[in-house]
Amino acid sequence: MTCLGLAGNDVLGSSSEGTPCGGIQLPLSPLEEDSDWKCDRCPITLSSSQVNDLVTRIGDEVENILRGGPTVKQLEELLDKVSTFLHPNHYHCYAVKHSLVQLYGHQHGYKPQQLTQQQLDKKYGIHVRGLLRTVINMCRGLLTTTETLDPGNARLALYSSVLQYETHNAVVQSARRRLSQQPPGISREELASKVKEARQLLVRAGQALAPEPELSAGGRMLCLVDKSLKELDIWVKELGLSGTDRG
């Protein structure tokens, strides 16, 4: 979790002139349940009960909001709040981000054709000029975390597949928008590269979901992935691109 201490003369934070130390609170003895936690940058130490209390309260708020069918705005505000206390890779932050990237592409006002370039960039991690910016960055960060925790897709196949699908969705939408500009804002070589990337993401998602039962959430996601893969291949043929259909 993020350290809330202040750097400067008053490390306990009573001085208004202090600045956040930017450190991370880590357990002194990771294998001990009641281990104290200490900042890796400043002297502040927290007891296990203090840490557990804070994480529990944050978890309750996250769970309540996610259960209530939140809007994009609510999740963005929640993410800003929990990020003040927790590391970006903390599981509560992960849960909020994972829900957020799905809403960005599907909630009214945030569908691909409605997203600004600024929102697309935020979602996918691509810095593109203009007004579309919100999904590749977040998706790629979540994918890195997911693949680190479960490199073989033994436990988190559905999570990673959703992220791969959403990343492909924004990559394609961004490419389509740039292609529709006059003159086109993307070269044929870059377009082929983006299409290939999108196809690889769908193929990886499909491979991870292959063992899922047909009527399960994973099985339904696999149908969506297969449908998107066929649509992408049709678009590739319409564009006359070669060398991208096999990803």
**What pLDDT sits at residue 182?**
84
Q: Chain-centre distance of CA 40, in angstroms?
A: 26
- Structure confidence at residue 137 (pLDDT): 84
**Which of the residues in the chain have pLDDT under 50?**
6-19, 126-132
Give dist(CA 74, CA 76) in Å, integer. 6
State residue 40's pLDDT score.
85
pLDDT at 12: 37
Predicted local distance difference test score (pLDDT) of residue 145 = 93
Name the residue ranges covered by the structural domains of the chain. 72-239
Q: How far apart are the first and last CA of the chain?
A: 39
pLDDT at 247: 52
Average pLDDT of the chain? 83
Residue 90 in tokens: 């903390």
pLDDT in tens, 221-240: 999 999 999 999 999 999 98
Q: Are 175 and 196 spatial neighbours (Cβ–Cβ below 8 Å)?
A: no
Question: What's the maximum distance between 2 C-alpha atoms anywhere in the chain?
Answer: 65
Report the alpha-carbon distance of residue 39 to residue 32 in Å, rounded. 17
Q: Which pLDDT belongs to residue 107?
A: 78
Residue 204's pLDDT is 96
Distances, alpha carbon 42 to alpha carbons 46, 55, 83, 94, 154, in Å: 12, 21, 19, 26, 38
For 80-120, how does the pLDDT look when each residue is reduced to its tens digit (9 = 90+)?
999 988 888 899 999 999 999 888 767 777 665 666 666 66
d(CA 125, CA 120): 8
